[in-house]
Structure 1
Amino acid sequence: MAEQDGTYYLFTTGEGITMWSSPDRETWTRQGAVFDEPPSWATEVVPEFDNSIWAPDIAEHDGTYYLYYAVSSFGSNASAIGVATSPTLNPDANDYGWTDHGIVVESVPGRDAWNAIDANLIVAEDGQPWLTFGSFWSGVKLVEMATPPTELAEDAEWHNLAGQHRYRKLDPRDAGDRMNGAIEAPFLFKHGDYYYLFASWGLCCRGEESTYKVVVGRSQDITGPYLDKEDQEMRLGGGSLVVDGNERWAGVGHSAAYTFDGTDYLAFHGYDRQDDGNSKLWIREIEWFHGWPKVSLE
């Protein structure tokens, strides 16, 4: 989600990336798709690609909007993150329009032990842009971006931020999700003296059977290590709970954190057991307790 000139714009998984607008973050109007046709390079990564584009992330940097997105298929790390840019988010503006810059980073089965989906751009306090991403496999990565951030930096730094290692004996809490590598959807957010790494444990996209929950760790250095409340490294399976589902809402997760008008919010989706497990948008204020975020579904 992003705000421009008093209007909020939301980008969601869907055919060609679905775009929505709202004056108040409550009533949303569908604005159509970013891509009427699949990106020209997509079938080189996923031959059967049908223009169902995943996990868009929108960010403004130096007056340009950057929309990162994933081309992939379930259960495979044949995946790539692409980026498109536009000078405005207003579809009625004369200069509105998306320019695709192609692949930013790609994962290849048999070559890479990570998965190039679920991107999020953050610009550090020193002005350096970084991209975090990752799903299952060896977990969440951070990579240094060029300026402008349409490609990786030359000789880019890479860092491992978080993981749920499949064959390591971990704390028995949430053992089912933790032992199968189920971590994804990273989002980095600066608050006070710390960078906060939000991530989702569990399984999404299964309606009422989804098990997503949002966890967090923090670090004073953007490259980590990110520690939870118990000083456990997220690289080694650590993470403190931010929000979980309940009897009605299954699998709340894939979160993004924002500050609007001086208030911090967490946006995420959850699967509604009272509506056949359909996915719904949640936007909730973040409450901070002793430097740690908490979100309520109440």
Structure 2
Amino acid sequence: MNKKFFKILAATFFTTTILAGCNNTPASSSSIKPTISSSTSSSSSTSSSSTSTSTSSSMSSSSSSTSSSSVPVDYFFNTYSNPMSITYTTGSDYRGEIADPSVVRGDDGYIYAFSTDRVMLRSEDGCSFEYVTGNVIDTPDWYTDVYPEETGGFHLWAPDVVKIGDKWIYYYSLSAWSKPCGVGYAVSDNIAGPYEDYGKLFDINEIGISNAIDPQVFVDDDGSVYMSVGSFQGLYLVQLTEDGMGLLNGVNYQRDNKVLIAGRPGGWDGSTYEGSYIIKRDGWYYYFGSAGTCCEGKNSSYRVYVGKSKNITGPYIDNNRKALTASGSGTTNGSLVLWAGMRDDKNVYGPGHNSVLLDDAGDYWIYYHAFSSADNYSTRHLFMDKLLWDDNGFPYIENRIPSFQEELDGPRFILE
């Protein structure tokens, strides 16, 4: 894949059309023919999109006022196809599992992906990745706080990596199948590490969430820090300290004041959600969650839904104004973002557990895992597609169907 370059005249808000099939030769500003708008913005394939400023890797964003002057901006982008390309530093293909991806842009300009079982990847363009390590931190042993009789078999699941202040924090769930422990965290001065494990943030008994897995941390515009956590027994929001390294007012306070934002408490219910991810766009909070079965190859029924709210604590509602907390017992509320069940060729199964990346052109990209025919559905691999926005401001991917082995243009970043 050749890296593609183009130059446009850009203001804080802009609308542009990207020429198809461009090579690595820069396109002139006149050939792009950008349209500058003083009140709205949209990408070439979104129906309702605003250029946003990301305040941190938490994906908080807000609209800006329009600049009266235009300056040339160089972007670069590449092409990608699903499953995404991952190689070792030697150039050979990485064929291992990438599950529950947390994708974030580092201070060094690289795009990083962190996944279950301590894997870290790195990318220059968000389209193809290089394997960095399979051991971000050693597996902790604080599972004995919850299961004193156990001697091993626990793993780090579904990490989320966020910069808070001048520290990068690697949040993780420590778990084994049917034996969730809780959430811990590790800290580094650099996104690429090394990370020092600070141990347990809370366990399932302390926080009162029976399946406290899949943490995702969101930093709001005012600096408040929140964590969504949980699975098919209910998704909850707790508030952290401003440095992200503790529970605001202590664990007992958060246990008593946690907020149910999706699903419902009770027994395991796959028609509710796990794999939470929250972003903020144009004053709305968007909650993404995955419903169905995650890990059964061609029998996986995972798919991604979204709800939105004017408040971080909800209620999150879908396009039919139904609350995500009313899901369960076979009913899944939420506006559908993506689902492989609508692919006629059945090349993809079980897409879900996403994160979202904002590029420099104001477009949002959803990264997720899925099984595919590329390896006979043997393991979960990294996928990505562009988010579009409907007239009611709900995100979805094209046709709501994961792309597969199609060469598509990827995220756009300012050329330094």
TM-score (norm 2): 0.63
Counterpart for residue 220 of structure 2:
124
Counterpart for residue 50 of structure 1:
153
Count how many residue pairs are aligned between Structure 1 and Structure 2: 278
- 5+ unaligned residues in a row in structure 1: which ranges? 91-95, 168-177
Matched, 1:271 2:371: yes
What one-letter code is carried by the residue in structure 2 that aligns with 1:280? H
Counterpart for residue 260 of structure 2:
160
Counterpart for residue 353 of structure 2:
254
**Which of the two has higher C-alpha Rg?**
2
Counterpart for residue 196 of structure 2:
99
Aligned CA distance change for structure 1 residues 252 and 24 (closer, same or farther; 3 Å): same
Counterpart for residue 151 of structure 1:
246
Instruction: Work out which of the residue numbers 101, 114, 137 in structure 1 matches 2:210.
Output: 114
Rounded to whole Å, the distance in 2 between the matches of 1:130 and 1:189 is 12
Instruction: Work out which of the residue numbers 301, 307, 326 in structure 2 matches 1:211.
Output: 301
Instruction: Give me the CA root mean square deviation.
Output: 2.2
Instruction: Work out which of the residue numbers 323, 338, 346 in structure 2 matches 1:243.
Output: 338
1:243: Cα distance to partner? 0.3
Higher relative contact order (CA 8 A, sep 6+): 2
1:158: Cα distance to partner? 1.2
Task: Provide, for residues 213-266 of structure 1, a one-character-per-residue CA deviation record: whole Å limited to 9, x for no partner.
Answer: 000100010011101111111111121110001311111000111212122111
Contact 2:183 2:201 (8 Å CA) reproduced: yes
Which of structure 1's runs of 4+ aligned residues deviate more than 4 A? 164-167, 178-182
Structure 1 residues 150-159 or 62-71, which shifts more?
Answer: 150-159
Task: Provide, for residues 32-85 of structure 1, a one-character-per-residue CA deviation record: whole Å limited to 9, x for no partner.
Answer: 134453224234345243353110111111121111111112234x32111111
Aligned CA distance change for structure 1 residues 36 and 61 (closer, same or farther; 3 Å): closer
What one-letter code is carried by the residue in structure 2 that aligns with 1:268? Y
Aligned CA distance change for structure 1 residues 164 and 241 (closer, same or farther; 3 Å): farther
Rounded to whole Å, the distance in 1 between the matches of 2:226 and 2:115 is 21
Instruction: Work out which of the residue numbers 196, 199, 222 in structure 1 matches 2:286.
Output: 196
- 5+ unaligned residues in a row in structure 2: which ranges? 1-102, 328-332, 404-416
TM-score (norm 1): 0.86
Contact 2:214 2:231 (8 Å CA) reproduced: yes
Structure 1 residues 154-163 or 189-198, which shifts more?
Answer: 154-163
Counterpart for residue 38 of structure 1:
139
Structure 1 residues 49-58 or 250-259, which shifts more?
Answer: 49-58
Aligned CA distance change for structure 1 residues 202 and 165 (closer, same or farther; 3 Å): farther
Contact 1:165 1:181 (8 Å CA) reproduced: no
Instruction: Work out which of the residue numbers 265, 284, 288 in structure 1 matches 2:389.
Output: 288
